[in-house]
Amino acid sequence: MYQYIKALHLIFVITWFAGLFYIPRLFIYHIEAAAKPSPEKEILTKQLKLMTKRLWFIITWPSAVLATGFGIWLLILTPVWLQQPWMHVKLAFVVLLIIYHLKSHQIFKQLQRDEVKYSSKFMRIYNEGATIILFAVVFLVILKSAFNWIFGVIGIIVLGILLMLGIKLYKRIRSKNPDA
Annotated binding site for heme: 9, 90
CB 31 within 8 A of CB 120: yes
3-class SS shares of the chain: helix, strand, coil, % to 5: 85, 0, 15
- Tell me, rounded to whole angstroms, the distance of Cα 162 from its chain centroid: 17
Per the annotation, binding residues are 9, 90
Cα-based distances in Å from 3 to 8, 18, 72, 116: 9, 22, 14, 44
CB 145 within 8 A of CB 81: no
Q: State the amino acid at position 127 in one-letter form.
A: N
The Cα angle at residue 131 between residues 91 and 29, in degrees rounded to 5: 130
- Residue length of the chain: 180
